[in-house]
Amino acid sequence: MKKNKRIVCILTIICFLCITSMTAQNIKLYSIGIDASRGDNKVMFCKIDPVTASVTLIAQLNDVKSVNSGSSTFDQNSHHYIFSGHDVNNITRLYSIDTLGKVVSNPVINNAFIFGLEYDLKSNHIYCEINNTFLGIRSFGSFNIEKGVTEDINNLDNVLGMATGSSAFNSNTGKYIFYGPDNNNVKRIWSINSVDGVIETSQIVDSFFVSELEFDNLNNKLIGIYRNKTDLSKLFLAEINYLTAEVSIICNLDDVTTLQTGSSVFDQSTGSYIFKGRDVFNNNRLFLINALTGEKISNIITDNFFYEIECDNTKFAKSFYESTDLNMENTIDNLSVYPNPNSGFFNLSFSSSAPTVVKIQVINNLGQIIYNESLDSFIGGYSKNIDISAFGSGKYFLKLSMNEQTKIEQITVIK
């Protein structure tokens, strides 16, 4: 009997490891790498296996001399890896590379440094901070993928700088978020409206440091590496409320001593926070953590030198937002969800000025649909009391899909 139990236990562990491996294998990572063993320090475009941390060379970038730290992003719409760097003539360029390693565009960036490139999964726009060295102006802007140029949206007169690897993007609300000092050198967490570039919040952060910020769009959380000023040697993975500067620890990182700047990414589908750093024995490792539970899924030692890691979140973006055209007129008006927060009972109301198919869903923080309703050729007013009281306390997303567009409202259930 004991032998049978032991066999069942072993099979359960094997099953769990297989599921974990399969989940991680669905994560697609790309990066820039340098093979120091070759002696020529050539820049390479690579694919990273999240399970084994092994590197697959896709292409050698002979025209690229160096890459600016914290300057990369991934265009989920065209599947292009984008980064800022210098060519062999030391000219600053913004490179766009497809997943086969072909350089699609490399426009020259004159008199400016580009930092914190962030991709909006909902609008398919790329945003960044632009430091115009010629005019001495720091601004928030966007990168026009088709034209291959940056476009200023608004000046950041009160911002002194941005910490490398400290930006993220909330695609649910269109907010660009970053950590950095103001003109008085006071550290703040800033949020910017990506439409007009206006700074909406700038919470003072005086008791801790944060870095390697990523945004979990499914659970509406800003996640990053946290260090309290009382003991900078201890690192934690934490949720940071950028509206209040409150911190909730997800897990400790006792086995991590240093981070590789600009190495963090977030896989939206699996909720995996991934970064590269050194352990207490000075080994380079690729860490993969479940950001919802704090479970450390893997921490593989790697001798490969790769950085500026980016994640392909295309499948999540298409399934979650279901929209690629922001210019399409929205036919849903007067959307209201009340009360919110609630105990699991709330009223949903909206109106439609033209016949449209409306899909109403409530999604939990695991991505599971717990309420589903479809309305065919709907026009007029809608009002209904919705009951999700059978489910526990926590954050949920109300998702309204219509005409290939999506509206999302966060619902908080407190019992």
- What residue ranges do the domains of the chain occupy? 2-320, 326-413
Q: Note whether 183 and 158 are within 8 A (CB).
A: yes
Q: Tens digit of pLDDT per residue, the chain (415 long)?
A: 544 545 444 444 344 344 444 455 579 999 998 765 555 678 999 999 887 888 899 999 999 998 988 889 999 888 899 999 999 999 988 899 999 999 998 988 877 788 899 999 988 899 999 887 655 678 999 887 666 677 889 999 899 988 888 999 999 889 999 999 999 999 999 999 998 999 999 999 988 999 999 999 988 899 999 999 899 889 999 999 999 999 999 999 999 999 988 889 999 989 999 999 999 999 999 999 999 899 988 898 887 788 899 999 988 888 788 643 333 344 677 888 999 999 999 999 988 877 778 889 998 877 788 999 988 778 788 899 999 999 999 888 888 887 656 778 888 899 8
CATH of 326-413, one of 2.60.40.3080, 3.40.30.10, 3.40.720.10, 3.30.70.20: 2.60.40.3080
- Single out the residue of 368, 411, 357, 365 nearest to residue 386, CA to CA: 411
Helix locations, 351-408, DSSP H: none
Q: Is the peptide bond before 341 cis (omega within 30 degrees of 0)?
A: yes
Identify whether the C-beta of residue 43 lies closer than 8 Å to the C-beta of residue 64: yes
The residue whose two tokens read 């072993």 is 10
Determine contact, residues 131/138, Cβ cutoff 8 Å: yes
Say whether 298 sits in a helix, a strand or coil.
strand
Give Rg (Cα) of the chain: 23
Rounded distance between C-alpha atoms, residue 313 and residue 311, angstroms = 6
Spatial distance between the Cα atoms of 74 and 122, rounded to a whole number of angstroms: 13
Q: Does the predicted model carry a pTM greater than 0.75?
A: no
Q: Which of 71, 140, 68, 77 is nearest to 104 (CA)?
A: 77
344, 413 Cβ separation under 8 angstroms: yes
Task: Give the model's pLDDT for residue 15.
Answer: 42
* DSSP one-letter string for 350-366: EEEEEEEEEEEEEE-TT
In this structure, CATH architecture of domain 2-320: 6 Propeller (2.120)
Distance CA 379, CA 270 (A): 37
